Amino acid sequence: MSQTIENQNQSSLDKAFELAAEAQKLWKDSEFSTRRSIFLNYHDSLNENQDSLMNTLQAETGKSRNHAFEEITGSLAGIRYVANNLKKALRPHRAKPGIPLALSVRVDYPAVGVVGVVTPWNYPLALTMLDVIPALAAGNAVVQKADDKTVKTIVQARDLAEQNGLPKGLWQVVHGDNEVIGNGLIDRCDYFAFTGSTATGRKVAQRAAARLIGFSMELGGKNPAIVLADADVEKTAERLLASVIGNSGQLCVATERAYVPKSEIAQYTETLTKKIEGLKLGSSNVFDHDLGALVSAEQTSRVSGFLSRAKDAGASVIGGEVENNLIRPSVLVGASHDSEIASQEVFGPVLALIPYESIDHAVEMANDTEYGLNASVFGNKSEAQRVARRLLAGTVNINEGYRASMASLDAPMGGMKQSGVGRRNGIHGIRRFTEPRTIATNNGFVELPSRGAQYNKMAPMMGMIAKVMKRL
């Protein structure tokens, strides 16, 4: 393994930035074809080493094998998308000039410099590929702060990249105290990409704004699902459950509240209960468990606390049994829309079923939150599309909880309201790590006016030109 700067002190962070900036001097001028080749080779190497990566990932997070595999497939898709769309996103292109023929305009996308990236423990590999890889591909260096729980996964991924041609020093991995390393990252970088809680995101935004640097953030969510009256109960319950137990509920886009027609609450409760009872919990190096453990005893205590308080408040809690850090998914019935369990992000495999009287009522409750990250609608596609357009969320899935949008890397992903700033994925997800530059040229056919007498002659003509330009 190459050297990893991991001490929690300012001097080690300074050294990481020095090495990254030095490596970036040559990298920023490298050809798109060179970068593409490196990342496609990296893609193949990561694919070939997926068993080793999954082992590390499971050891650090407690994920089941299938959820570790999902992270591998998401990582591979992220690398492929960036490699194959890099030139499309960043090659210089013409823009329409203010005066045709007389002027010409081109836009290019130079790299910002050294990008700071913070990745959380829940998806250390996949989120690295969705932020670090596009930042590198855009010609930048990266200093990435890994969560202390998942440093080995990220270092292993970085080392594979260097083994496949990425210049050494270009991708630095640090970890440690948030006050020193986290704040220091914002204070030194040229652009900052953050994934984490809304509370921390507000502090990040203030610190980045004080330096007038660009930033993007994917933050928390309290993601709603609206179940239409015509939805197939069996299929909907299965897909709802999938959106609750993914990564044991420890993902920002997981469904945590479902609005169901009042007359169908009992039916969905019964169907979901049977499915929950049939789930197999645990973690091994084969695909024999439906979901794994929560990442820590602290996280398990947090989720259990939500369930205990909901039960004390009068909700019926189905499931939720805890053994070590394994917690059985739970369905809650009888919790009010404005209760803690239905309004605060749990970040665990918990679903509150809440009845609604009408679609307007369901939409109103779904939107009644400070968050706006992800949402879903289940039922007839035409009606679901109409409801989806009324929901205030950065992604809305129809007849899926989150997997349809997460798998679509050509589309932007991010949050409205307090769920984030900016978007990852898509062409913009690459361009966010650049400083778009406009180069406008006077071609010499027309001398642009600069003196009062010239304007006196040209003013009548400008009115005619404006009318022509409007039609063009």
Catalytic residues: 218, 252
Largest CA distance in the chain: 86
- Residue 322 burial (10 A CB sphere; 0-12, 13-18, 19+): middle
**Number of alpha carbons in the 13 Å side-chain half-sphere of residue 171:** 25
User: Among 368, 360, 341, 363, which Cα is nearest to 352's?
Assistant: 341
Distance CA 131, CA 129 (A): 6
Q: Which residues contact 256 (CB under 8 A, 6 or more apart)?
A: 222, 223, 224, 244, 249, 345, 346, 350, 351, 352
Pairing between strand 191-195 and 214-218? parallel
User: Among 374, 304, 368, 372, which Cα is nearest to 342's?
Assistant: 368
Letter for the amino acid at 268?
Answer: Y
Distance CA 139, CA 364 (A): 44
